[in-house]
Amino acid sequence: MFEKYFSTRILSTPSSFIREILKVTQKPEIISFAGGLPNPVSFPQEELKVSMNRIAEKFGDKIYQYSTTMGLDSLREFIVERYKKLWSMDIDINNVIITTGSQQALDLMGKVFLNENDKVLVEKPSYLGLLQAFCLYKANFVQTKLNDDGLDIDELKNTIKTHKPKLAYLIPNFQNPTGLTYSAQNRKEVFEVIKDEDLILIQDDPYGELRFEQSERLPYIGLNQSDKNIYLGSFSKIVTPGMRLGYIIANKEIIRMIETAKQASDLHSNIFGQYLIADYLQNNDLDKHIEKIKKLYKTQSSAMVEAMKTYFPKNIKFTIPKGGMFSWATLEQGKSSVDLFNCAIKKNVAFVPGDPFYVKEKNVNTLRLNYTNADCATIKEGIKRLSEAMSEV
Amino acid sequence: MFEKYFSTRILSTPSSFIREILKVTQKPEIISFAGGLPNPVSFPQEELKVSMNRIAEKFGDKIYQYSTTMGLDSLREFIVERYKKLWSMDIDINNVIITTGSQQALDLMGKVFLNENDKVLVEKPSYLGLLQAFCLYKANFVQTKLNDDGLDIDELKNTIKTHKPKLAYLIPNFQNPTGLTYSAQNRKEVFEVIKDEDLILIQDDPYGELRFEQSERLPYIGLNQSDKNIYLGSFSKIVTPGMRLGYIIANKEIIRMIETAKQASDLHSNIFGQYLIADYLQNNDLDKHIEKIKKLYKTQSSAMVEAMKTYFPKNIKFTIPKGGMFSWATLEQGKSSVDLFNCAIKKNVAFVPGDPFYVKEKNVNTLRLNYTNADCATIKEGIKRLSEAMSEV
């Protein structure tokens, strides 16, 4: 009865697909590879309990009062120091704004940059949360092929020439949904293609810290070579997602616009959580904590890969993750992962069919598998059940 | 250098005015009536410390994990029970969604309802956070005169007839910025005017609980008589604003759309904060706590009113608050409150000039005064300084 009141943007935004999936997968008998939940071991619960009592003593009513839109100085300072150390970035706290999770960073990118029908270059497939966020700003998406080592350079050149996108949104490390990582060489080639274009490059990096297969970190695309680079980061996968704390690093002129947009969106992010995480980071060794997470995820990833090698029918392809939280499987051409989902759910195993990661394609033959939120025996059993479903569809 | 990339919506959104004011007013020598900060006494710090340790014991990793977009069931149940008790509303938790502060509720209203140029009826003056939020969705505002007892009914009728607004946004209790409250009679008349119109009515009520001058609560406009009524509430003024927790109560079909918009905006609100506030509310007497806040605000409001009566030049009008956090002063016709601000700041006293609360008018003769965040002696001294500035401008 309210349809005539709703905005065209909300009526054209997809949502029910994933929501329905998550509803189904919450039944206790289901082994779910559908979510994107970090393993609870990645939450330093004891240390956070110490920190929350300490900030209550130390800062009193400040942890409960209104605060600034830009975010807590000490938390932004930590981010500045970390990115200086890791990437020699020439930034200060006025290049950093705290967001209510990375998802809000996506919403703010839409608010600040997108006019209706503006072209946005995204990977094919891309993160569904981005597609959903930008859909609300009526973005015109152009998807560019993602190969095992990064973007397909020829297709990228063509896409840019044909469409002249205003924004590009890329996830170079352990991409969601595919788990793929751009090679050092591919990063250089991508930057060569885009560097002289009128293009803002957003690099979303929630998983970069979770590289468990080799120690070398790969630099961002065009690192320290472009004022049109925007970096998104998050504490969700390395400390806690429940606090909803992410951040944006960008040129100060851009940050000032984002600040205006954020002020109108939620005034500021939860300040208690900002004090809490800042205190935790100041009093603990984050890298040591991350090592623990990586060790576990490597074990879980290996369990899934081994089980897929053992049980999957031979015509099923899948990525072997070097970090992050996901693998990505491809069925035989012509098969639909939605059909597979409907069969798998009867066998009490779930995943996310590929459809919501594409802009146009429906009934695709790809699917996302998360391995971080189940123990190895459960992962093995889940993949076994999924394999049975695969041979029936 | 980035102007060509920015969206037209962000380029047309005002922000610097208030931001500049708040920068100036943060100097320690300034007595500031400019902010809208609750008094820290309204944060039940000891009780919240007990609650945070209890939820850490009781819920373990759940307080740090991703959660649902709709919000924590137990918190939504508390809201349902309170609105049932106070207002006999026929609602359940699926009529309630938790937001990242009331400001996010405003952003979500824009996302869900507004197409470019849609007409929105607001009070004159109206809350600047709403004007800013809806500006990002390119709303076409129509402002309707606010009298001492509520909306001017004749002007309301004309405005609706002429403009046929899609939304109306009203703050019937202790309005921000004026501190005015609609009378019971005015509420009835407003509902008579709008009830058969194609109009969604949003009632924002952050201050309703803070009625310190009479005990009788006045019912919402069209309470329990319209499915097109949307109610916004917040824990910011009665427990803590730093947690950024507000809520929307509406018809379920509307809530489902808001859920989609919120999912794209920040996935969900800080879940730790939701567990914390829910635990606090379950284990403490909120009404008793609110009594304490009201007692203090009554004292502070009286101090400001007495000082204004004593020191203000006789041609200055001001509202006498019966609740909430603000008074509103009107200079002689033709005077500008921005000029007054520039003079006052030299005397180390600050307030918010009326301009940002209006859609079109500039250099208005009105100003907002907050009394909740200074002690009575400071309020008296600040009003004295402001009075001196008034006689000079």
pLDDT digits (tens, 9 = 90+) for A275-298: 999 999 999 999 999 999 999 999
Taking the C-alpha atoms of residue B352 and residue B161, their distance in angstroms, rounded to an integer, is 33
Contact B8 A129 (CB under 8 A): no
What distance in Å separates the CA atoms of residue A261 and residue A263, rounded to the nearest whole number?
A: 5
* Residue A40: both structure tokens together: 């609870």
3-state secondary structure of A208: coil
Q: What's the CA gap between A32 and A28, in Å, rounded?
A: 9
* Nearest Cα to Cα of residue A278 among A311, A317, A315, A239: A239
Q: Which residue of A lies nearest to B198 if distances are taken between CA atoms?
A: A5
Q: Which of A270, A274, A289, A370 to mutate to test the interface with B (most CBs of B within 10 A)?
A: A270
What is the band of A23 on the pLDDT scale with cuts at 50, 70, 90? confident
Average pLDDT over residues A251-256: 97
> How many C-beta atoms lie closer than 10 Å to residue A11's C-beta?
11
CA B93 from chain center: how many Å? Answer: 23
Of A49, A107, A240, nearest to B265 by CB-CB distance is: A107
Please judge whether A38 and B65 are an interchain contact, meaning their C-beta atoms are less than 8 angstroms apart. yes
B243, A10: Cβ pair inside 8 Å?
Answer: no
- Residue B64 is nearest to which of A133, A242, A272, comparing CB atoms? A242
- Kindly write down the DSSP assignment for every residue of B10-56, as one continuous string: HHT---HHHHHHHHHHTSTT-EE----PPPGGGS-HHHHHHHHHHHH
Q: Do B104 and A13 touch (CB under 8 A)?
A: no
Alpha-helical runs (H) found in chain A: 8-11, 16-25, 45-59, 73-87, 101-113, 128-135, 153-163, 184-194, 252-266, 271-283, 286-311, 337-346, 376-392
Tell me which chain A residues have a C-beta less than 8 angstroms from the C-beta of B4: 198
Specify whether the CB–CB gap between B195 and B226 falls below 8 A.
yes
- Is B65 within 8 Å of A241 when comparing Cβ atoms? yes
A48 CB neighbours in chain B (<8 A) are: 56, 64
For chain A, give the number of residues.
393
| Three-class SS state of B216 | coil
Q: Which residues of B touch A7 (CB under 8 A)?
A: 111-115, 118, 137
Residues of chain B found within 8 Å of residue A60, distances taken between Cβ atoms: 40, 45
Report the alpha-carbon distance of residue A324 to residue A38 in Å, rounded.
10
Q: In A, which residues are within 8 Å of B38 by CB distance? A: 65-66
Model confidence pLDDT, tens digit, residues A197-223: 999 999 999 999 999 997 788 999 999
CA B258 – CA B359 distance, rounded (Å): 26
Name the closest residue on chain B to residue A66, using Cα atoms: B242
Judging contacts by C-beta atoms under 8 Å, the chain B residues touching residue A243 are: 64, 270, 272
Q: CB of B289 within 8 A of CB of B360?
A: no
Tokens standing for residue A153 = 């350079």
Task: Name every residue whose Cβ is closer than 8 Å to that of residue B22 and which is 6 or more positions away in sequence.
Answer: B34, B35
Residues of B in contact with A35 (CB under 8 A): 66
What values do phi and psi take at A142, rounded to 5?
A: -120, 120
Do A384 and A348 form a contact (C-beta atoms < 8 A)?
no
DSSP-assigned beta bridge partners for residue B99: B246
- Write out chain A residues lying below 8 Å of B325, CB-based: none
Contacts of B223 (CB under 8 A, 6+ apart): B87, B89, B229
| pLDDT tens for chain B, residues 1 to 393 | 899 999 999 998 877 666 677 777 778 899 999 988 999 989 999 999 999 999 999 999 999 999 999 999 999 999 999 999 999 999 999 999 999 999 999 999 999 999 999 999 999 999 999 999 999 999 999 999 999 999 999 999 999 999 999 999 999 999 999 999 999 999 999 999 999 999 999 999 999 999 998 778 899 999 999 999 999 999 999 999 999 999 999 999 999 999 999 999 999 999 999 999 999 999 999 999 999 999 999 999 999 999 999 999 999 999 999 999 999 999 999 999 999 999 999 999 999 999 999 999 999 999 999 999 999 999 999 999 999 999 998
Give how far Cα A12 sits from Cα of A353, B108, B109, Å.
20, 15, 16
Name the residue among B8, B67, B241 with its Cβ closest to that of A65: B241
Check CB contact under 8 Å for B264 and A135.
yes
State the nearest Cα–Cα gap between A190 and chain B, in angstroms: 21
Structure-token pair, residue A213: 């297969």
Give me the residue label for tokens 């905006």: B265
CA distances from A127 to A102, A309, B28, B266, B363 (A): 12, 26, 46, 14, 47
Q: Are A273 and A244 in contact (CB under 8 A)?
A: yes
Measured CA to CA, the distance from residue B130 to residue B107 in angstroms comes to 8
Give CA–CA dist B16/A390, Å, rounded: 58
Whether A264 shows a pLDDT value over 90: the answer reads yes
| Distance from chain centroid for Cα A67 | 27
In this prediction the pTM is: 0.97
Nearest-CA distance from A13 to chain B in Å? 8
Enumerate the residues of chain A whose CB falls inside 8 A of the CB of residue B137.
7
State the best of B65, B116, B252, B275 to mutate against chain A, taking most chain A CBs within 10 Å.
B65
Q: Residue A11: what pLDDT?
A: 92
Of all residues in chain B, the one with the smallest CA distance to A264 is B133
Cβ within 8 Å of residue A221, ≥6 positions away? A170, A172, A182, A187, A190, A191, A194, A201, A203, A229
What is the full DSSP assignment across B241-277? STT--EEEE--HHHHHHHHHHHHHHHSS--HHHHHHH
Q: Which residues pair with A211 in a beta bridge?
A: A323
Name the closest residue on chain B to residue A136, using Cα atoms.
B111
Decide if B65 and A48 are in contact by the 8 Å CB cutoff: no
Q: Using an 8 Å Cβ cutoff, are A104 and A84 in contact?
A: no
- H or E segment to which residue B141 belongs: strand B140-147
Of A276, A246, A208, the closest CA to residue A45 belongs to A276
The CA distance from B315 to the nearest CA of chain A, in Å, is: 35
Residue A13: the pLDDT is 86
What three-state secondary structure class fits B337?
Answer: helix
Minimal Cβ distance to A61: which of B40, B114, B118: B40
C-beta atoms surrounding B188 within 10 Å:
15
Given a contact cutoff of 8 angstroms between Cβ atoms, the answer to whether A248 and A214 are in contact is: no
What's the token pair of residue A186? 């591919």
Q: Do B111 and A10 touch (CB under 8 A)?
A: yes
On the CB side of A151, CA atoms within 13 Å amount to 28
How far is residue B24's CA from residue B31's CA, in Å, rounded to a whole number?
11
Residue B189, SS3 per DSSP: helix
> Does the beta-carbon distance from A45 to B56 stay under 8 Å?
yes
List the one residue out of B369, B330, B306, B355 whose CA is nearest residue B32.
B369
* Strand order through the sheet with A167-170: A96-99, A246-249, A229-234, A200-204, A167-170, A119-124, A140-147, A150-151
Q: Which residues of B touch A278 (CB under 8 A)?
A: none
Distance of alpha carbon A53 from alpha carbon A55, whole angstroms: 6
Identify which of B60, B66, B228 has the shortest CB distance to residue A37: B66
- Cβ contact A391:A356 at 8 Å: no
The closest CB to that of B65, out of A37, A56, A66, belongs to A37
**What is the number of other CB atoms lying within 10 angstroms of the CB of residue A47?**
15
CA distance A264 to chain B (A): 5
Residue of B5, B69, B253, B259 to mutate, testing the A interface (most A Cβ within 10 Å of its Cβ): B5
Cβ-Cβ contacts under 8 Å, A129 against chain B: 264, 267
CB pairs under 8 A between A and B: 238
Question: In chain B, which residues have their Cβ closer than 8 Å to the Cβ of A5?
Answer: 113, 166, 198, 200, 228
Alpha-carbon span A354 to A146, nearest angstrom: 14
**Residues on chain B touching A137 (C-beta within 8 angstroms):** 7
Give me the helix-helix angle, A271-283 and A45-59, nearest 10°: 110
- Nearest by CB to B242, from A9, A66, A228: name it: A66
Please, what is the average pLDDT of chain A?
95
- Helix locations, chain B, DSSP H: 8-11, 16-25, 45-59, 73-87, 101-113, 128-135, 153-163, 184-194, 252-266, 271-283, 286-311, 337-346, 376-392
- DSSP letter at B332 equals P
B197: number of CA atoms within 13 Å, CB side? 24
Q: How is residue A174 written in tokens?
A: 């352990």
Q: Is the pLDDT of residue A77 over 90?
A: yes
CA atoms of B208 and A249, how far apart (whole Å):
39
B35 interaction partners in chain A (CB closer than 8 Å): 66
Q: What is the pLDDT of residue B16?
A: 61
Q: How close, in Å, is residue B313 to chain A by CA atoms?
A: 33
Token pair listed for A84: 């200086």
Token pair for B196: 């058969």
Decide if A331 contacts A316 (C-beta within 8 A): yes
For strand A31-32 and strand A366-370, is the pairing parallel, antiparallel, or unpaired? unpaired
Would the CB atoms of B271 and A242 count as touching at under 8 Å? yes
